[in-house]
Amino acid sequence: MNAKAISMNGLLLNRAVLVLNTNYAPLTITTAKRAICLHVTEKIDIVESYLEEIHSPSIKYPLPSVVKLRAFVHYNSMDVVLSRRNLLQRDNHTCQYCGKISGKLTIDHVIPRERGGRDLWENLVIACSPCNLKKNNLTPEEAGMPLLKHPRRPNRIHYFQKFVKQHQTGWKPYLFMETWGTTIKNNPSYLT
Ligand SMILES: [Zn+2]
């Protein structure tokens, strides 16, 4: 395999894959690389594939886009894990004070930690370094820096929807972004 093919496969293997429970409830997002490992070990079925394929001299492998677990996972929570990556996703990689999207982005405690502000979705926002420095140990009101929007705890479906870019059209039926596919039409009970 030439260098170009290897780097292309590398990019494709990092492509986001939507993981569904056995009842088609969206569970998490993983990489194509991990999804292929789970497929090889028969933990999942591939429900949708991207147009591209993974190539090596001996094999051609479909690039999974949506996969479904073979064994049901009991997971009732629709909460999204609080992490830097997920905060960036919620806030669209945008400073919530000045709207800047470039430069070094940091995590700001709206109510500063030193003043009892906790690590909660409702108290954490993405801020550019200059805004974070300027705000320092003040509340937005004290600093005269109003937030662009009120920080909220995201719900899992909204969170997954944000991952849908041009490549992820195959995800839409599973995230209520278009008409129900026939396979999931009768199975929305996990949302209630
Ligand atoms: Zn800023």
Residue 191 has pLDDT above 50, yes or no: no
pLDDT at 186 over 80: no
pLDDT at 159: 80
pLDDT average, residue stretch 2-9: 63
Which of helix, strand or coil describes residue 29? strand
Does 180 score more than 70 pLDDT?
no
Out of 15-19, 154-158, 186-190, the most confident range is: 15-19
Measured on CA atoms in the order 75, 79, 85, 89, is the torsion positive or negative? positive
Cα(94) to centroid(ligand 1), Å: 8
E-state strands within the chain: 16-20, 26-31, 44-55, 60-69, 105-109, 124-128
Distance 81 CA to ligand 1 centre (A): 24
E strands present in 84-155? 105-109, 124-128
For residue 143, the CA-to-ligand 1 centroid distance in Å is 13
Domain regions of the chain by residue span = 3-76+155-191, 84-143
- Residues with C-beta atoms within 5 A of ion ligand 1: 95, 97-98, 100, 128, 131
User: Bridge partners of 17?
Assistant: 30
Q: What is the distance in A from the centroid of ligand 1 to the CA of 165?
A: 25
CATH level 3 topology of 84-143: DNA Binding (I), subunit A (1.10.30)
| Interval 122-170: pLDDT, tens | 999 999 999 999 999 999 999 999 999 999 998 888 888 888 988 899 9
Contact 184, 157 (CB under 8 A): no
Residue 102 CA, ligand 1 centroid: distance in Å: 9
Ligand 1 centroid distance, CA of 80 (Å): 25
pTM of the model: 0.62
Q: What pLDDT is recorded for position 184?
A: 42
Q: pLDDT of 77-128, one tens digit each?
A: 667 889 998 899 899 999 999 999 988 999 999 999 999 999 999 999 999 9
User: What is the 3-state composition of the chain as percent helix, strand, coil, each rounded to the nearest 5?
Assistant: 35, 25, 45
CA of 157 to the centre of ligand 1 (A): 28
